[in-house]
Structure 1
Amino acid sequence: MANIYRRLITLASLVTFSCPLFSQQDSVSLSEQYYAQGMEIFDYEHRKVASELFMLAVQANPKNAKAQFMAGRSIMLTVRKELSLQYFKQAYQLDPKIDPDILYYLGQAYHYSEKFDSAIVLYDRYNRLLARSLDYEKSKKINEVNRKIFECHNAKIMVAQPVDVKIAHLSNSINSEWPDYAPTINADETFMVFTTRRPEENMNNRLAQDNEYYEEIFFTKKVDGEWIPARNLSGPLNNSYHNASINLSPDGKEMLLYHDSNGGDILASFLKPDGTWTNPEEILEINTEYIENSASISADGKQLFFTSNRPGGYGGTDIYVSVKDAKGRWGSPRNLGRSVNTEMDEDGVYVSVSGKHLYFSSNGHAGMGDLDIYRSAYNPEKDMWEKPINMGYPINSVENDIYIVLTRNEDFAYISSVRPEGVGEQDVYKIDISNGKEPVYTQPDFADAVLAMEDQMPLFGGKAAGEVKTETKP
Structure 2
Amino acid sequence: MVRILFVWACLFPALAIAQEWEFGVAEKLPDNVNSECDDVMPILSNDGKTLYFTRSFCDFNRGGKFTGSDIWMSMLDPSTKLWSKAVNAENLNDRANSIAVGVGEQGDVLYYMKTSSSKRPDGVLSISRQGGAWSRSRLMPVPGLEPDEYLGMYVTPDQMVMIISMNGPDSRGREDLYISVKNDRGEWTKPKNLGSTVNTTGFEMSPFLSANKRRLYFTSSGHSGQGNGDVFYCDRLYDSWEIWSAPKNLGEQVNSKFLDAYFSIYGDTVAYFASNRFKQMDLFKVQVFEKKSQYDIDRRNYLTDEEIQRIAGMTLQPLLYFDGGTSELNDYQKQNLVRIKNGLAGHKDIKFNIIAMKPADKPLETYQARLLNILDFFKQAGIEGNRIIFSTEQSESTIQSKEMVRIRFYR
Q: Calculate the TM-score normalised by the size of structure 1.
A: 0.53
Alpha-carbon deviation of 1:273? 4.2
Indicate which of 272, 278, 282 corresponds to 1:427: 282
Alpha-carbon deviation of 1:357? 0.8
DSSP 3-state at the match of 1:434: strand
Say how many residue pairs are matched.
275
| 1:346 maps onto 2:204 in alignment | yes
| 1:311 maps onto 2:169 in alignment | yes
Aligned to 2:96: 241
CA gap 1:418/1:222 in 2 versus in 1, 3 angstroms: same
Query: 1:362 and 1:168 mapped to 2: Cα distance?
Result: 22
Aligned to 1:361: 219
Indicate which of 10, 25, 32 corresponds to 1:173: 32
Aligned to 2:347: none
DSSP 3-state at the match of 2:200: coil
Gaps of 5+ in 1: 1-162, 448-474
Query: 1:293 and 1:437 mapped to 2: Cα distance?
Result: 37
Alpha-carbon deviation of 1:343? 1.9
CA gap 1:200/1:352 in 2 versus in 1, 3 angstroms: same
Identity %: 23
Gaps of 5+ in 2: 1-21, 294-393, 402-411
Write the deviation string for residues 192-217 of structure 1: whole angstroms up to 9, x where unpaired: 11112364643234x42xxxx74221
CA gap 1:356/1:276 in 2 versus in 1, 3 angstroms: same
Query: 2:225 and 2:129 mapped to 1: Cα distance?
Result: 42
Task: After TM superposition, list the pairs within 5 Å mapping 1:127-276 onto structure 2.
Answer: 164-197=23-56, 199=58, 201-205=60-64, 207-208=65-66, 214-224=68-78, 225-235=81-91, 237-252=92-107, 253-262=109-118, 265=121, 267-273=124-130, 275-276=133-134
Query: 1:254 and 1:219 mapped to 2: Cα distance?
Result: 12
CA gap 1:347/1:445 in 2 versus in 1, 3 angstroms: same
Runs of 4+ in 1 over 6 A off after TM superposition: none
| 1:442 maps onto 2:396 in alignment | yes
Q: Which has the higher contact order (CA 8 A, sep 6+)?
A: 2
DSSP 3-state at the match of 2:258: coil
Query: 1:234 and 1:381 mapped to 2: Cα distance?
Result: 40
Query: 2:45 and 2:144 mapped to 1: Cα distance?
Result: 23
Q: Which has the higher helix share?
A: 1
Q: Which has the higher strand share?
A: 2
CA gap 1:388/1:331 in 2 versus in 1, 3 angstroms: same
Write the deviation string for residues 8-66 of structure 1: whole angstroms up to 9, x where unpaired: xxxxxxxxxxxxxxxxxxxxxxxxxxxxxxxxxxxxxxxxxxxxxxxxxxxxxxxxxxx
Aligned to 1:290: 148
| 1:375 maps onto 2:233 in alignment | yes
Aligned to 1:387: 246
Greater displacement, 247-256 / 316-325: 247-256
Query: 1:445 and 1:263 mapped to 2: Cα distance?
Result: 38
Query: 1:164 and 1:239 mapped to 2: Cα distance?
Result: 37
Q: In 2, are the aligned partners of 1:314 and 1:343 still within 8 Å (CA)?
A: yes
Query: 1:164 and 1:304 mapped to 2: Cα distance?
Result: 27
Query: 2:228 and 2:149 mapped to 1: Cα distance?
Result: 20
Alpha-carbon deviation of 1:410? 2.4
Aligned to 2:187: 329
CA RMSD of aligned residues (A): 2.8
Q: Calculate the TM-score normalised by the size of structure 2.
A: 0.60
Alpha-carbon deviation of 1:344? 1.9
